[in-house]
Amino acid sequence: MPRSKSSKFLRSSATNPLPVIAPSGTRDIQSKIIALKNERQNLIDTPLLATPEKIRAFHVSLIDAIFSLVGADSSKYQNCFRHCIKLCKATDTYKATSWGSWTGLNSFMKVMEKADRRTRYSNLLHCPAAPDLMVAIAIEKVVLHTQNMQGRNRISDFLRDFDCYNKATSAIYYHQKGNRENILTLDQPWDLTAPVHRPPTRLADKSELTTSSVTSKDRMVVSRGNATRNATGLVENPTSIKIESSPEYEAESSAEHQATAHAIQEAGLRAALQPGPLRGCEGPVPISMPMQEPSTTGEYCVQVSRAETMERLQPLFDRLNHEDWTGRIEDDFMRILTAKSIKVITAEAKGMLRLWASRVRNEVVLSWLEQAQEDLTVFQWIERHTEPPSAMWRSDQSVRAIIHDLDEMIAAVSEPILRDQLWATVSALRGIVAGYS
C-alpha cells in the first residue's frame, strides 16, 4: 500500500537498521478466535446484519485480538490501531474466504517479496509495515483459521520464516512513532538458510527506546576468559553444568573472502562503466571500494539454562491440551528445541516430549532425548568462530546500501520493460554481494 515518506530519524536501511522492540507478552486468544469466527459467519450469512457499523465493530475486535496475540496493548498505539482498521475496511477483510479472495493480496505479496529480497541481500531481517502485517496475521489466525490447518502457503511460510509474530510489536511501535516505510530494516542478523537464527544486535525498551546489547532468550554468550566467573553467578547448582567443545562455527578461509571481495570490486566497476538504462544520468557513478581487515578468531562459552528453556516451552506444552499434535505446533517445537537445550529441561517435560515425539514419529527429538539422560539445569559448551575479514569502505555507503537505494528507485519506475532491464543489470551484483555475506 502506498505510504508517505517517514521522518529521517525513523527511516531504516541496511546501514541504519532499527532496534528490535521486544513484545510485552503474548496472550492465548483461542476463545476470541472462536467468537470472532462466529460473528464473521453471521455477517456473511445474513447480509442485512452487515451494516457499516457492524462490520467496523468486527474489524475493531479483530485487530484488538491480534494486538493481544503479538504482545502489544492496542490502547497505547491508537494511531497504528486506527490505520489497521482502516486497511481492514479498504480490503474487505471480513469477506475473505481464502487468500486469493482477499482484495489486499496482490499488494501484500509485493511487500512480502520485497522484504524477502532485501533480507537475502543484506542478511538483516526486514519486516512489513504494521497495517499490512497485522491484517495479514488477522487473516491467517482468525479469518481463515481452522483447528486442523492442512497444507502450507507462501504467506503462512513468510509469517513463520521471518518471525513476523515476534516482530509485529516492532512494526507497531515504529508506525506509531511516525515511520511510514512499506518495509522496516531491523537490527537482527537473519540467514534464511540457517536452522537457528542469531538474536537481535540491539533491543529497545518501548517506553524509553534505550538500546542495549542482547542476551539471547535461550542462551548467553560470554568470552571464554570470563566463562567461569559469569556462569557461577548465574547457576544455583554448579555441579549440574556440563561443558563441551563444539566445532559448529568453522569459518571459510580468508583467501576465499579476499577473492570474493576482489570480485565485488570488479563487478562494481563493470556496473558503473556499462552503458545503457542503468546509467540514466550524466557523470560518473560513485563507487565504494573495500579494503580488507585481518580476520579474527575467538572462542566463546555458550550457555543454555533450564529456566529460560522451560519459559519458552511451557506455552507449547499448554497448546498440546487443545491443538492437534501435528502441523504448526511441531514446527514451533523444532524452532526451540536443540540437542543442547533438551538436556536442561525437567524430567516431566522430557516425558511429555517423549510422548509427543513418539505420537508424531519425530525421530530427531527422540534421538536427542536418548542423549539427554542426565538431570542438568545448565549446559555449557565452547564454540570457535573465525570472523571473516571485514571491509572498510572509503565512502559512507556500502555496496548493500547502494543496492538498497537502487531497489527503491527501480520499484518506482512505471515502464515495465525498462524496469525489467534495470533489474537484470544489477542482478549479477546482487548475487555476488549475497554470496559474500
pLDDT at 403: 75
Cell 546482487 locates to: 430
Here the cell at position 21 is 522492540
The DSSP line for 170-192 is HHHHHHHTT---SEEEEEEE--T
Average pLDDT, the chain: 74
**Residue 260 confidence (pLDDT):** 41
List, for the chain, all residue ranges whose pLDDT scores fall below the cut of 70.
Answer: 1-10, 25-26, 145-152, 205-300, 384-398, 400, 428-437
Beta carbons within 8 Å of 42's beta carbon, 6+ residues apart: 49
Could you read off the pLDDT of 195-242 as tens digits, one per residue? 777 888 888 755 544 333 333 333 333 333 333 333 323 333 333 444
Cell numbers for 88: 481492514
Q: How far apart are CA 55 and CA 95, in angstroms?
A: 10
* pLDDT attached to residue 175: 94
Residue 27, all three cell numbers: 496472550
The tally of CA atoms less than 13 A away on the side-chain side of residue 8 is 0
Handedness of CA 33, 34, 35, 36 (dihedral sign): positive
Report the pLDDT value the prediction gives residue 308, as an integer from 0 to 100: 84
Q: Are 306 and 347 in contact (CB under 8 A)?
A: no
Contact yes or no for 34/142 (Cβ under 8 A): no
Distance CA 136, CA 365 (A): 32
Answer yes or no: are the C-beta atoms of 309 and 345 closer than 8 Å: yes
Q: Tell which residue, 130, 117, 125, has the closest CA to residue 404.
A: 117
pLDDT of residue 295: 57
Residue 78 CA to residue 292 CA, distance in Å, equals: 48
The answer to whether the beta carbons of residues 264 and 399 sit under 8 Å apart is yes
Tell me the per-residue pLDDT of 296-348, one tens digit each, with 9 for 90 and over: 566 667 788 888 889 889 988 888 888 888 778 888 888 889 999 999 999 98
